[in-house]
Amino acid sequence: MASRLRAIWLVASFDVVESLRSRKAVVLLLLYALGSFGGSAVFIRILGAIRERLEEEVGRAVDMKELMKSPGMARVAGALTGDVDVAGAIVAIPPMALFYGWLAMNFVPLLVLFTSVDAVSGDLSSGAVRYSLFRTERLSWALGKLLGQTCLMAVGVLSGALASWLTGVIWFDGMAVADTAFWLLRISGRSIVYSFAYLGMVLGASQIARTTARAGGLALVVMFLASVGGSIVQAEPIAERAPELMNALSKLFPNGHHLWLWHPGVVQSVSAMVGLVLIGLAYFGLGFWRFSRRDA
């Protein structure tokens, strides 16, 4: 067991070094951080405009916390989420952290697709895998790749959070600096867990296809189907017909856990995280099932 863990660690750390030295990952992570920076700046401008409009209407200065905790905002959040508890939790999150959460959960899956799709398929197509597989078991090697790419994704998510926080520090008047940093860290953790489900899909595809192009195509199709499938089973007309069945089915898709990730209850948020990790592992395992039986 110890030697397997050591092998996983060795493969993961080498994978991170290799990815960073290839510069492709660095460029993509920088682009993502820049996107976070730019998106946050635009968000601050929109927020400022809303506040100005509101101040004109009420005829006095409006505090951002006041705005977020206003009954109107609670109604909007409640309507969007359909869950009073989640809506209450969301309006308590500092706006910059809330925006970054939205950004990360929408864009990190795409970042993962671009950075990780060649993690296994690249080594298969170049033959580089042949230098490793007589030295360590396929499972350790594949898990090492998964761990390495998870670390890389975590670096990306955290660098995006840092970019968002810095944008707020520079341009967002009255931002609660420490509180926002704390929430950005919490939300980054949730985003990493959420994106892990997609990382599992990408690495699953990367183990099945022999070339990076095919793996990319397969991963895109799987991600698209998972996204559409999750939306269909949660769509009101369908969900109303068999709510329990549809609710259970929704847990098979990443977006079926999306809402509970924001839930203030520990049981709900932890179960969402466990569900997302299991989805990621299931897709990864499916890919490994093929990889373990194929000629490398």
Could you list the residues that contact other proteins (CB under 8 A)? 3-4, 7, 10-11, 14, 17-18, 21-23, 126-137, 293-296
Residue 26 CB, shortest distance to other proteins, in Å, is 11
Name residues whose C-beta falls within 8 Å of residue 144's C-beta, 6 or more positions apart in sequence: 7, 8, 9, 10, 11, 12, 14, 15, 136
Residue 15 CB, shortest distance to other proteins, in Å, is 10
CB closer to other proteins, 11 vs 161: 11
Residue 223 CB, shortest distance to other proteins, in Å, is 27
DSSP 231-275: HHHHSHHHHHHSHHHHHHHHTTSGGGSHHHHT-SSHHHHHHHHHH
CB closer to other proteins, 138 vs 214: 138
242: number of Cβ within 10 Å: 12
Tokens of 131: 């230098």
Per-residue b/e over 178-193, b at no fewer than 16 CB within 10 Å? Answer: eebbebbeebbbbbbb
Residue 294 CB, shortest distance to other proteins, in Å, is 8
Residue 171 CB, shortest distance to other proteins, in Å, is 37
Return the ∠ at Cα 207 (arms to 224 and 6), rounded to 5°: 125
